Amino acid sequence: MVSIHELGHSLGLIADDYPYIERNVWRGCWTRGEPKSITHTIYTSSEKMIADQHKWWRWLGEDSGSSGSPIGLYEGGNTWPCGIRRASEYSMMRWTGYHFDVVQREQMTIRIAGRRDANRMPLDHTPEGEVGPKDVIWVETMHPRYHELDITWRVNGQTIENHNNCNLELVKLGLKNGDIVEVTVSDPTDFVRDPKWIHGPRLTQTRKFTVGKPLPSKEVEAKFTRSTPTIWPVSAQEVVFVETTHPADRVLAVTWSLNDKVLANPFNSRCLNLAKLRLPRGTFKLTATLADSDDPDGQVDSLTWSVDNVLPTAPRKLSRPLTTIAGQVEHNVYFNEFEMLLDAQDDQTGYVQPLYVAAEFKLDGGGWYNYFGFPDKPIGTPFKFTHSGLDVRGLTYGNLGTGGHAKVPWEQLYLDHEIFGTFWPGFGTHTVEHRAIDPAGNIGEPEMFKATVLPGKSPEATSTVTGQHKGKLIVEKGVTLIDGAIINGGVVVKPGASLVVSDGSTINGDLQADRAAVIHIFGTTVHGKASISGATDDVIIAGSKFKQTLTVTGDRCQVVKFPSGKLHQYGVALVGNVITGDLICLDNTPGVTDFGAPNSVSGAKKGQATNGVGPAHFVYNQ
């Protein structure tokens, strides 16, 4: 990925988007005038940028293609943290691993199409000048993977229908000496919006011929001269191409066949758009054969490709959760962090040797990011997401908090910053999508899971209950852990004692806790009434089922310390529970939160509502 980022510099002439010149060192704000960089500006108003038709104004409001957010004016870039703005929230040029944004992609397209400083799209063709009325004139264009270039032929200024063919047989047109034949080749890519480039020499070329003296008569060997590479499979979305030698008086015939079945090619096209065939899943054999009408043996050359139309996958393995929340999508609950291991896989039938399959992931609807394990860790190490990210060589990775999962560590220290505001750790519910990309370029269907990340941890147990427990369990002191046990008779927690109930436990009876220290309940079924009142330290109930009323009153929650030193209380946590009876929440300090995983309540809701977690704190519904 670093090499692609560096190509953005050397080939694309694109400046860095990251906010530092030395890692993790704040250098103050940009205070100079408009930068020369094509992807940075001191403009602060989109309206003014549009009115002035300045830099990337044509892309404002469009999907960035890199970050999940629109193109706009984002603070920081060009190695400065502030005082200057970039086009996208994040991209290949800000944090290596993301895609180029559409502004950067436009620049890369025109630089590649125009061959860097040559400023001219490559185009082979019949030499310009005089051609005979019975000659064949031709052009050979660039060949993007997923679309064809437009080829337009004109005679004396009038467009003629030639079905986007690269060969024109003049004998069929009845031309006379002095007639003018022109051909224009243009790239209809939607990667470029600036008319200066669309109609300029990087994306549009015209050649001119005058009917008169015939081209020199010279026999050439009929053969394929260039093509889509055959050494590895192509995807079923590609445009496969061939180029041939060019006899002056005839056009060589190309026949396309799929699994030995001839495909229609009424205009003798040198390109085959596989996407139009709408192939089913599987692997296919594609063949192009070349025939010469002057050769009595018919076929003179052939090429074969394997077409890979099997989508790759990236199965995941996640760290063990505290519990899971029922739903159509896998939804785990963790304290502070979780790990994700992706194993990119692909059916490589038709490949000479196994080739690398890439994986990507997307956090909370952001941009697709290349999965590589975790920085500075051995191959096969899972990627770790944490509430505020981990610092690796002066960069932050896996951040679930505000600002995206890749950042600079000093960005996590913001506390009511005049420009960036407060950094909020990523406690709450997150959505992660992941997919694979195979060597042919097939992009697999994304899979998805959710993770709710809670602050803190459960206290260490001083006693543990497992298996079957007969009669009422009374917790009088210390920390009791009910570890996947079945309690037949209910549970009572005395003042000052703590209770932790692990995933898979069952309480057949009532649950009563009065002035306990800590109550943590995960993935537990409670068949009786549950009442937790006056807890002094923390209450978390997640992924559990309550068959009768759940009452939570007068409880307190833990104090969380941010990287900036800020102290914050999120509220008593009721996360993704299913409550058959009523839910009563009264006088809890500072409130009650579901951390983005709503509770299902069949009965009445009374008192404080369970609202989603967020920087704006909580809403109370008394």
Catalogue all structural domains in the chain, each as residue range(s) with its CATH number: 2-113 (no CATH), 119-309 (no CATH), 316-409+428-454 (2.60.40), 463-607 (no CATH)
- Rounded to 10 degrees, what is the CA torsion of 393, 397, 399, 404? 110
Structural tokens at position 229: 């590479």
- Which of 325-329, 421-425, 549-553 is the least confident region? 421-425
Of the candidates 591, 579, 514, 576, the one whose C-alpha atom is nearest the C-alpha of residue 550 is: 579
What is the Cβ-side half-sphere exposure of residue 120, based on CA atoms within 13 angstroms?
A: 7
Q: 542-579 pLDDT, tens per residue?
A: 999 999 999 999 999 999 999 888 899 999 999 999 99
Classify the phi-psi angles of 105: left when phi > 0, otherwise alpha if psi is within -120 to 50, otherwise beta.
alpha
- Element (DSSP H or E) covering residue 10: helix 2-10
Alpha-carbon span 547 to 525, nearest angstrom: 8
How confident is residue 297, by pLDDT bands cut at 50, 70 and 90?
A: confident
**539, amino acid identity:** V
Q: Residue length, the chain? A: 622
Looking at 30-44, 154-168, 598-612, which range is the least confident one? 598-612
pLDDT score for 552: 97
Q: Are 579 and 546 in contact (CB under 8 A)?
A: yes
> What percent of the chain is predicted at pLDDT more than 90?
88
Q: Which residue has the tokens 């009917």?
A: 211
Q: Which two tokens mark 172? A: 């069929």
CA 503 to chain centre: 33
> Could you tell me if residue 256 is left (phi over 0), alpha (psi between -120 and 50 degrees) or otherwise beta?
beta
CA distance 82 to 80: 6
Q: Which helix (H) or strand (E) holds 195?
A: helix 195-198
Give the relative orientation of helices 102-113 and 2-10 as an angle to the nearest 10 degrees: 60
Q: How confident is the model at residue 609, as a pLDDT?
A: 61
∠ CA 151-153-156 to the nearest 5 degrees? 155
Hunting for tokens 């760290």 — which residue is that?
319
Over residues 223-268, the pLDDT tens digits come to 999 999 999 999 999 999 999 999 999 999 999 999 999 999 999 9
Whole-angstrom distance, CA of residue 622 vs CA of residue 552: 14
pTM (two decimals): 0.93
* 3-state helix vs strand vs coil in the chain, percent to 5: 10, 35, 55
